Structure formats: C-alpha cells, structure tokens
Amino acid sequence: MNETIDKLVENREKIADLIETFSLALKKKNCTPEVLDLLHRISFYSEDFFIHAELFLKKYNLASYEKHTIAHKEFVNQLIQFQERLEKGESMLAFDLYDYVTNWFSTYLTTTEKEVANYIESGKSQVD
C-alpha cells in the first residue's frame, strides 16, 4: 500500500511542476508546441495517478471508486478535445487548457489524496 501512496504523491508533485512550467509557457509567443508537450506529459502522470488511485479505491472497496473512474474518463476526454483543437491551430485555447488543468489539479487530485489519507488514518487499511 505504501508504494501506491508514494506513487500518488510522486505523480501529484510531477503534475504540479508541469503546471508551473505551463504557466511560464503561456507568457511566451507561439507557445502551442510547448503547451502540447506539457499536455502530453500531464496526461502521462495523471494517467499513472488515476491507475494507482483506482487500484487503491477498488482494493479497499471505497464507495467513491465509480465516481473516480467517471472523473478519470471525463478528464481524459477533455484532454483529447483540447489536444485536437490546439493541433488545429486554436492557440488561444492554451489559456483555457491551463485553467482546466489547474482546476482539476486543485479539486480532483487533492480530494483523492485526502480521501486516501482519511482512509489510512481511520485504521481500516491494516490489512496491508
């Protein structure tokens, strides 16, 4: 279980760093190529975060498992739509993508981490 928790924290930190880099990229002219690269990297670490979170939630039969899988699919679909539109030249969309990712980071990731931490603190995960 500690490996799963460590992986969640590690992915959160990597995503936070990428979001910081994203904010700097937006200040540059013609940032679309860099934004697309950041989008792919955020996608990679968020996918890994989702996998570990879902494994944890499923393993301990937490009621929010289905809610998280739905949120995961919605996030992935949104990123795909952003990517397609950015690749078609909608460069101003980068700001919307930044807002979307930062909002997702502050709500979904922190909520998931709190849920996992609360479960651990409650002592219910003594099985591992």
* Residue type at 71 in one-letter notation: A
> Which pLDDT band holds residue 125 (cuts at 50, 70, 90)?
very low
Spatial separation of the C-alpha atoms in residues 56 and 77, rounded to whole Å: 23
pLDDT in tens, 29-60: 889 999 999 999 999 999 998 888 888 888 87
Spatial separation of the C-alpha atoms in residues 108 and 14, rounded to whole Å: 15
Percent of the chain with pLDDT over 70: 94
Question: Which structural domains are found in the chain, ordered by start?
Answer: 2-121 (1.20.120.50)
Q: What is the mean pLDDT of residues 94-122?
A: 84
Give the predicted TM-score (pTM) of the model.
0.82
DSSP per position, 11-77: HHHHHHHHHHHHHHHTTSTT-HHHHHHHHHHHHHHHHHHHHHHHHHHHHTT-TTHHHHHHHHHHHHH
